[in-house]
Each structure stands twice: as C-alpha cells, then as structure tokens.
Amino acid sequence: MTRIAVKTTHTLADLRDKSTMFLPIANRFVVDANNLGIPQSASYDILERSLSYQFFAQTSHGRAAGDVGKPLFQSAIYNDTATTTFPTSILAHILDANTLIVALPGAHVTLPVSLLQGGAGYNIAASGRLLWWDFSANTYVPARPVDAAKGAPPILYILRIAGGNVDAQVRPLVTQPMRLLSEYTITAADVTNRYCNFMTANTAMDGMIWIDGVLMSSLDVSTSWSAGTCSWNTLRLEGRVEAGMILQGLYEPRI
C-alpha cells in the first residue's frame, strides 16, 4: 500500500497570540543538495516586527541596554535642545555592537515606565497621551521642555500603561505645518502697555512674527506663544512702536 500525503486544515480558535502562528519561509542563503532554499518557519509576530522595525548598521554605535526605548538621531540619543538634529527613530533592540533595531513612525513600541516623568505614577488622564523627549532629564515628558529647540515634536502616543511597561505608537517625527497668523493691528493701549495680545492663548506651540514687514528677533520683542502675547518692554523695539502698526506671522499649531 502506498501512502499519499494529504493536506488537512487546522483552524486556530484565537489569533491574538501571534507568537503561536507560524508562516513558512525559504532561506535562499542556505540551500540544500538541489540548490533550493531550505524551508523554515517564522512566527507571525517576528515577521510583523521586521516590517515595522528597521536594522540600522553603525560601527561601534555605543548604545547600551538602558537606552532601549529612547529616541535616536541616527545612532545617538536625540538631544531636543540642539537646533541641528531631530528624532529619526526609537531604539527597539540592540542586536550587537554594530547593529541596532529601530522603530519607525507608525510602529508600536514597548518601553519601561521608568522612562516616563513620574515613572509608575504617570497619569494619562491628568498628563495626556503625547510624550516629548527631555534630553536634560533623560526622560519622556507630557509637554515640550522649556529648553527644547523650536519645533521639537512630540515623539510617542501612549496606548496604555500596564505591568511596568508603556505601550506606545511612534508619531510622525516632524513638526506640524506652519500656519498663517491672523493680522493684528497694534492699538494705542498696546503702545502704552508695551505689549499686546495678538492671538488666543494655548493655540500655538511656536512661531515667528513680523511688525510692519520687519521680522522680529528675541532682541526686538519677547513673545509668549502659549499666552499669545508680544512684549517690547526694555527691548530694542521699545519707543519705536506706534498705533496702527500691523503684526503678522506664522505659527506652529498646538496639537
């Protein structure tokens, strides 16, 4: 009697545990006697991770186990105070001394709750789900650090906090598009007070302004984008502001 191989179906009752689901793969770099790729298999969670993450080759990258979960600029820890760098990925795993595995925007990451300001006491309801990186404090914080460079973006969106870990999604690592500020006409009262309220508070993260077509620097005026105010007291513009001058600008919306 000859045995004939017959394929049979197998139904998985629960697909949530992706580590129990295996898919066939062929390793073309390892061949058999017929020069065919040797059949192997990989769990679905590993394949899914390989699509969301990326290998980053950097000789002697210098990263250590305690850096996992932190944002990177190339292979260095992202410094939010620098004006010449920006976050490019999240360190997900250290493969060896010369290779990192990094999470790109859109990927889900798990990091220890110790990387959050307040640690296990972080409260989503009170502090929110958006996280910025504070290089000075070596931790994620729920608001842009005061010493951060202009345009430093939020990096993670918290999905949940459980079991000493934070599950989060990597946000697009770019700043929000700049928007045109509504024109504001400086009044006589503004001239007397030496400041003006030119926009609604808590509308903008950052921006730049022009007064009568001249771009203002920190030497000319002091601008509080969170309050929506502009002051020229004791600065270069004092004594030069007149009623009727037009304040214009661009701003980065608060998320």
Instruction: Round to whole Å and give the CA distance between 143 and 125.
Output: 14
Q: Is the pTM of this model over 0.75?
A: no
Q: Which of 84, 115, 65, 60 is nearest to 75 (CA)?
A: 60
pLDDT higher than threshold 70 for residue 115: yes
- Residue 88: pLDDT band (50, 70, 90) is confident
The confidence score (pLDDT) of residue 223 equals 94
Higher pLDDT, 103 or 176: 103
The confidence score (pLDDT) of residue 24 equals 63
The confidence score (pLDDT) of residue 55 equals 87
The mean pLDDT value of the chain amounts to: 84
pLDDT higher than threshold 60 for residue 219: yes
- Residue 121: pLDDT band (50, 70, 90) is very high
> What letter does residue 68 receive in the DSSP assignment?
T
- pLDDT tens-digit map of 145-196: 988 876 678 899 999 999 899 999 998 776 556 788 889 999 999 999 999 9
pLDDT higher than threshold 60 for residue 4: no
The confidence score (pLDDT) of residue 47 equals 65
Q: How many CB atoms lie within 10 A of CB 171?
A: 17
Domain range list for the chain: 30-175, 179-253
Q: Which of 254, 255, 253, 246 is nearest to 209 (CA)?
A: 246
Q: Which two tokens stand for residue 230?
A: 């502009």
pLDDT higher than threshold 60 for residue 205: yes
Per DSSP, the three-state class of 71 is: strand
> What letter does residue 186 receive in the DSSP assignment?
P
pLDDT higher than threshold 90 for residue 43: no
Q: Which two tokens stand for residue 246?
A: 């037009």
150 phi, psi to nearest 5 deg: -60, 135
The confidence score (pLDDT) of residue 56 equals 87
The confidence score (pLDDT) of residue 91 equals 94
Mean of pLDDT values over 7-20: 57
The confidence score (pLDDT) of residue 106 equals 86
User: How many residues are recorded in the chain?
Assistant: 255
Between 74-78, 145-149, 202-206, the lowest mean confidence (pLDDT) is in 202-206
pLDDT higher than threshold 90 for residue 33: no
